[in-house]
């Protein structure tokens, strides 16, 4: 009996054993998968260290941590962009040129894209971007504190210049614009033009909706959300809710950090963080639900089997965000959810909620209040903050807007879209960290998340007829199973647009989200 | 002006700049130090991951964690034993053959020892040891549970055989015995014969001392130690005490784990763990003080400056243990300590200690109770447990004791030394994990710790005249400063025996520890 090398990827199943009985040479794709796994293990070390840094590391450990992370990122960059890696990739492409294995094809498609992108940028540019990033963040912190846009202006200009250079290296597609290759880093395959196609009708319907709320003069009483509760009780409530919606604590944790996040460290280890305020419990709950959505996605990706391969990774930031927004907004702000969750909250928080009703809490959770700060904004107004940033980024990159004119345009648009006056740049165009980190092309993924979530949620409603009745009894397993099957387990097999068409039989559009928001405003504020 | 490469180690200070003004070639020792630092950074990653595994990691993460640690240990073994490393070491030795820099000489001495030891063992033997280890631990767990020595016997025999093979590879010095090179792994430079020289008089005085306590019929009332306290209160008390004795929480942490330990991750990051019982608070406190002793040593090593160099590392397990035992036994079980600590305990534990006195708690902390289990034994009887193990290990390695005869010899000696009957092997020769891990030569370092601690403590008493008065006021800074200067900051500059002579002007002996224990027994049980 010939010894046949065990194929880890399964890709070599289709290859023939030599008729002479000698074992075939190893499939280059198997070797590639072994290297991908080794790289993924080192990446998971990076993520463990980053998580520790944000949650537990004593202050004195920061210099060592920087050295640890630098050592790992150096090793990883070398392995990901090495000639050896490139050779394996090319050999795999040749060996599987006509493969009918959809997973292998998806892997090779994504690996080629990543490898070429990683090697496209000259080292000098990468270093310049990294340097600008760390200096830019410091400059931004000071500028924001003093509400001094002028102090930040050179860094914004530098960010635009370096982004244009980066886009030029990646290559701007014919008929496209510089925004396209930048956005592609975060939302592969999406373009600025396609984004506008969805954003334009979304904005056209959102602005009058918010105007309607404002002019109605109705006020939602949200005092219950500020009922006095301890961080300990908040943690307990969040834990019970997150466990129920599907986060598996035997394969994950929940800790505290200054800025909440989800770290999918690797197979069997996904960690969420949250923060707790003494003056209100709703922010902690919504954050916990949001991060749980991310966490449940990470736990559902097929990492146990394919760790390191693209098919075990998430599709895009937009799809990742769709999972967190769905749990936060479509589950956690829904009436049926509160029918189940309210008694739990009463049990955990005790007298703090005496006299409240599920309906009162649900209503408080859905107040629409146009404001200045994106991260504090409600579900309805949130997307207008994003679209403003997207339009400004495109205009700067296309040369239609000078950086120094950003504050004026920002403030004028905030007045027009949300009816709010921006009193200073600190609460205006200096509020976000992203531009200071040299990141252009990221913001739209937040709204993609909301759009995808709405479109998937409608489909879930069609596929699971008693969805809302189940939720009101705290039964989320059928929804989780739907997500596992349709989204989580498919990894990066399809790009986001393709996934959306396969699941909903339609391209991404503004209608589902607008239907959801309009119905909610009707219910909360009256038709 | 010629550019002179900055010397990180300082070793090249003595080297001449070429008279022609061209920079000299880099000092190989500087290159070696850079490599040592890079290795140390990766080792610190290992330690971060190990710490996380023992404290926080969700159960599901264990397979990934094993992969992470395996990847790192593979990389590290390769770098530590590489030909390149060997070449740098040899070149450094040649360049600094006549160096008068004591630090460089100490580094080269230790590096040569480690490098040769690491390359001495054939790969097949290392793999066999590793495999036996993981299988042995499982076999031991089952054998202990069922108190079935026969089931463990083949693994004990295997451990002895592999240890003999290891000793043969390391080389047994002329006139020495196989135990010597094994002990040298943990206590560099120490031999079995030297150990016996100290252990023999120690045992000769300990056995009658314990006999005296037993025959006195006196009973110490330790009910206060079981006063009901919450884990939260215990944590608070431990934290306050450990901070006071010198553990710096801005450069470290205290968490919970099943088995308490101290992990000196690297510069600025030292982490301790503890465990808490509902039925008594003293174990948590003593463990906290013990681990703090280790932690304060780690925090005092000159890692900020010399991370990666041997001169920034601890001397030996025995010296490390001396620091933990000193804080645990010489500080934490002393009368002056309780004069300060008792009011703190009252404040934290509240009514649980109503009616207690500093003296009653101090006395309870010092009860002498011969028992079966090493890790539960008191300060006086502890060392007899160790000496039993040391004698058995030597006898097995020297061929004077067959493995199958271990239980009989063990039980007979427990009766003779401590007056206790061993009812089963679970509470006898199967109680420790060490032999199942293939470790012979480790146990004596625990008693070395007690011996060194006693000898150093007497010297501290001579150097700081009001030592006890300071302790009774909770002023530990002068003691800490003494330890920093005399021990911590010297790193591995001297071997343990040399350090002991330099500090106390005497070789290690049994007298200081016996004086300490005899005085204590007198005070607690009456002269």
Instruction: Choose the mutation target among B8, B36, B41, B79 for the interface with A, i.e. most A CBs under 10 Å.
Output: B41
- Read off the pLDDT of residues B410-420 as tens digits, 9 standing for 90 and up: 999 999 999 99
Quick check: A249 contacting B, CB < 8 Å?
A: yes
Q: Which of A35, A43, A93, A291 is catalytic?
A: A291
Residues of chain A with CATH 1.10.1370.30: 223-367+445-525
What the block records as the tokens of A238 is 């969040």
Question: Measured between beta carbons, which residues in chain B are less than 8 angstroms from residue A55?
Answer: none
Q: pLDDT confidence of A527, banded at 50, 70, 90?
A: low
Give the residue among B104, B82, B85 at the shortest CA–CA distance from B15: B104
ipTM for the predicted complex comes to 0.91
Q: Tokens 């109705």 sit at which residue?
A: A218
Q: By three-state DSSP, how is residue B280 classified?
A: strand
Instruction: Specify the pairing of strand B269-274 against strand B262-266.
Output: antiparallel
- Nearest of B307, B240, B287, B323 to residue B38 by alpha carbon: B307
B526 vs A494, more confident: A494
According to the model, what pLDDT value does residue B246 have? 97
CA distance A374 to A427: 10
| Per-residue pLDDT, A22 | 77
What local confidence, expressed as pLDDT, does residue B46 receive? Answer: 96
pTM attached to this predicted model: 0.92
Listed residue (B211, B520, B204) closest to B367, CA to CA: B520
- Site of tokens 């963080």: A273
CA distance A162 to A135: 14
Q: pLDDT, tens digit, for every residue of B290-311?
A: 999 999 999 999 999 999 999 9
The pLDDT score that the predictor gives to residue A133 is 86
Alpha-carbon distance A411 to A409, whole Å?
A: 6
On whether the CB atoms of residues A460 and A467 are closer than 8 A, the answer is yes
Using a CB–CB cutoff of 8 Å, tell me whether A272 touches chain B: no
Axis-axis angle for helices A149-170, A406-418 (nearest 10): 90
Mean pLDDT of chain A: 94
How close B30 comes to chain A (CA, Å)?
18
Beta-carbon separation of B64 and A251 below 8 A = no
**In the numeric block, which tokens belong to residue B430?**
């199967």
Residue A266 above 90 pLDDT?
yes
Centroid of chain to Cα A344 = 29
What is the CATH number assigned to the segment(s) A223-367+445-525? Answer: 1.10.1370.30
pLDDT at site A25 = 85
pLDDT digits (tens, 9 = 90+) for B123-168: 899 889 988 988 899 999 999 999 999 999 999 999 999 999 999 9
Out of B64, B265, B269, closest to residue A269 by CB: B64
- Name the strand (E) or helix (H) holding B55: helix B28-55
How far is CA A47 from each of CA A288, A443, B49, B51, rounded to the nearest angstrom? 20, 23, 11, 15
Query: Is residue A2 predicted with pLDDT exceeding 50?
Result: no
CB-nearest to B269 from A45, A61, A249 is A61
CB contact under 8 A, B63 and A249: no
Show the 3-state SS of A276-302. Answer: CECCECHHHHHHHHHHHHHHHHHHHCC
CA–CA dist A224, A392 (Å, integer) = 38
Contacting residues for A457 by C-beta, under 8 A, at least 6 apart:
A326, A330, A512, A516
CA–CA distance, A282 with A332 (Å, rounded to integer): 10
Would you say B67 and A34 are in contact if contact means Cβ atoms under 8 Å apart? no
Closest residue of A to B307, CA-based? A64
- Given this model, what pLDDT does residue B19 score? 56
Q: Does B235 have pLDDT greater than 50?
A: yes
CB B60 within 8 A of CB A250: yes
Neighbours of A94 (CB within 10 A): 9
Per-residue pLDDT at A370 exceeds 50: yes
H helices of A351-405, in order, are 358-365, 382-397
Nearest to A268 among B41, B63, B268 (CB): B63
Residue with tokens 């790969």, as numbered in its chain: B123
Measured CA to CA, the distance from residue B453 to residue B466 in angstroms comes to 19
Q: What is the pLDDT of residues B326-373, one digit of tens each?
A: 999 999 999 999 999 999 999 999 999 999 999 999 999 999 999 999
Residue located via tokens 């939720």: A471
B214, with CB counted inside 10 A (0-12, 13-18, 19+), is middle
B354: how many CB neighbours lie within 10 A of its CB? 9
Q: Each residue of A452-485: pLDDT tens digit?
A: 999 999 999 999 999 999 999 999 999 999 999 9
User: pLDDT (tens digit, 9 = 90+) per residue, A211-220?
Assistant: 999 988 888 9
User: Which residues 8-67 on chain A approach chain B with CB closer than 8 angstroms?
Assistant: 38, 41-42, 44-45, 48-49, 52, 56-65, 67
Distance from CA of B444 to the nearest CA of A (A): 33
- A345, A233 contact by CB (below 8 A): no
Q: To the nearest whole angstrom, how far is the Cα of B326 from the nearest Cα of chain A?
A: 26
Residue A503, SS3 per DSSP: helix
Q: Does A267 touch chain B (CB under 8 A)?
A: yes
CB contact under 8 A, B251 and A61: yes
CB pairs under 8 A between A and B: 108
Mutation target for B interface from A42, A46, A67: give the one with most B CBs within 10 A.
Answer: A67
Per-residue H/E/C for B239-267: HHHHHHHCCCHHHEEEEECCCCCEEEEEC
Take residue B159 and report the two structure tokens written for it: 């451990």
Q: Are strands A252-256 and A269-274 parallel, antiparallel or unpaired?
A: parallel
Assess whether pLDDT exceeds 90 at residue A3: no
Cβ atoms of B486 and B356 within 8 Å: the answer is no
Determine how many CB atoms are found less than 10 A away from the CB of residue B465: 9
Flag whether residue B196 sits within 8 Å of chain A, measured between CB atoms. no
- Tokens read off for A204: 């056209």
Instruction: Give the mean model confidence (pLDDT) for residues A43-71.
Output: 95
Put simply, the answer to whether A44 touches B64 (Cβ < 8 Å) is yes
Q: Do A52 and B48 touch (CB under 8 A)?
A: yes
Closest Cα in chain B to A299? B60
Q: Which of A334, A425, A340 is nearest to A152 (CA)?
A: A425
């Amino acid at each position: 009996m010939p010894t046949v090398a065990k194929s880890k990827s399964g890709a070599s199943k289709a290859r023939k054993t030599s008729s002479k009985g000698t074992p075939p040479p190893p499939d280059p794709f198997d070797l590639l998968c072994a290297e991908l796994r080794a790289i993924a293990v080192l990446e998971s070390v990076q993520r463990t260290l980053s998580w520790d840094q944000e949650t537990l590391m004593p202050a004195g450990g920061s210099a060592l941590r920087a050295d640890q992370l630098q050592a790992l990122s150096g090793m990883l960059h070398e392995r990901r962009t090495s000639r050896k890696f490139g050779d394996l990739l090319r050999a795999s492409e040749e060996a599987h040129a006509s493969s009918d294995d959809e997973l292998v094809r998806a892997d090779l498609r994504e690996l080629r894209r990543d490898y070429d992108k990683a090697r496209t940028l000259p080292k000098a540019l990468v270093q310049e971007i990294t340097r600008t990033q760390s200096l830019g963040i410091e400059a931004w912190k000071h500028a924001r504190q003093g509400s001094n846009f002028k102090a930040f202006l050179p860094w914004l200009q530098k960010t635009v210049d370096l982004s244009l250079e980066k886009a030029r290296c990646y290559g701007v597609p014919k008929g496209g614009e510089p925004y396209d290759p930048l956005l592609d880093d975060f939302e592969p395959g999406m373009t600025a033009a396609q984004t506008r196609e969805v954003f334009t009708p979304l904005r056209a319907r959102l602005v009058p909706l918010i105007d309607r709320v404002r002019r109605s003069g109705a006020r939602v009483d949200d005092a219950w959300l500020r009922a006095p509760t301890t961080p300990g009780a908040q943690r307990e409530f969040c834990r019970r809710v997150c466990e129920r919606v599907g986060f598996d604590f035997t394969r994950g944790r929940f800790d505290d950090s200054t800025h909440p996040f989800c770290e999918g460290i690797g197979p069997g280890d996904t960690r969420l963080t949250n923060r707790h305020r003494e003056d209100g419990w709703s922010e902690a709950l919504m954050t916990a639900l949001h991060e749980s959505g991310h966490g449940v996605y990470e736990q559902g990706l097929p990492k146990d089997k394919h760790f390191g391969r693209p098919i075990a990774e998430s599709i895009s930031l937009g799809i990742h965000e769709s999972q967190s927004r769905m749990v936060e907004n479509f589950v956690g702000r829904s009436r049926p959810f509160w029918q189940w969750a309210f008694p739990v909250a009463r049990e955990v928080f005790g007298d703090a909620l005496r006299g409240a009703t599920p309906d009162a809490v649900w209503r408080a959770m859905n107040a629409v209040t146009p404001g200045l700060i994106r991260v504090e904004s409600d579900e309805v107004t949130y997307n207008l903050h994003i679209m403003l940033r997207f339009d400004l980024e495109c205009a700067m990159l296309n040369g239609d807007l000078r950086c120094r004119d950003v504050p004026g345009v920002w403030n004028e648009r905030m007045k027009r879209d949300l009816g709010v006056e921006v009193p200073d740049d600190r609460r205006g165009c200096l509020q976000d960290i992203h531009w200071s980190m040299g990141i252009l092309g990221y913001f739209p993924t937040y709204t993609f998340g909301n759009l995808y979530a709405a479109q998937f949620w409608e489909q879930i409603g069609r596929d699971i007829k008693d969805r809302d009745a189940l939720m009101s009894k705290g039964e989320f397993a059928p929804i989780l199973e739907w997500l596992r099957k349709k989204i989580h387990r498919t990894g990066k097999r399809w790009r986001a647009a393709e996934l959306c068409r396969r699941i909903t039989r339609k391209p991404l559009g503004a209608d589902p989200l607008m239907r959801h928001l309009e119905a909610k405003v009707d219910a909360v504020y009256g038709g």
